Amino acid sequence: MKTEIVEIEKEDGLQVILGHAGFIKTVEDLYEAMASSVPGVKFGLAFAEASGPCLVRSEGSDPALVKLAEKNMERIAAGHTFIILFKGAYPINLTNAIKDVNEVTRVYCATANPVEVIVATTALGRGVIGVVDGTASKGVEKEKDRSERKKFLRDIGYKL
């Protein structure tokens, strides 16, 4: 087995959901979940087939994001893996809808942070071992940090 780290290519602030699913209709089902959860969300998604022609299948509402999703998935190249890149929404707005898609078996991450995908290659193919989502913890929050967290959540409208 060989392992490698594949960095997700994306601009700062662009959101990503990376997961595992298992059927050719996944692409259309993920498209419907995205489009119906946040009307007007700009996104591109790509899915790597694990049998048959083993193509990267893609859909989306933004051609540039579709191309970027395809590019990232070609680099990951792990069967039954999907990536969704989006803007105009937060992961909290979409993650449950994605997890509710019947074929989805796992969501590895849903974040705007830099992401590295740990990929293993065997004689059979490639698979995602896990992800690195952002940077390591630097300590435990203090009262000032707690106050800033609470203010931030209210400033962006997620708490009253």
Give the per-residue pLDDT at 95. Answer: 97
Q: How many Å apart are CA 152 and CA 2, to the nearest integer?
A: 42
The domains of the chain, with CATH numbers, are 10-113 (3.40.1520.10)
Q: How deeply is 74 buried, as exposed, middle or buried, from its count of CB atoms within 10 A (0-12, 13-18, 19+)?
A: exposed
81 within 8 A of 73, measured Cβ to Cβ: yes
* Residue 80 banded pLDDT, cuts 50, 70, 90: very high
pLDDT in tens, 2-12: 999 999 999 99
| pTM exceeds 0.75, yes or no | yes
Closest CA to 72 of 94, 47, 95: 47
Number of H helices, E strands in the chain: 4, 8
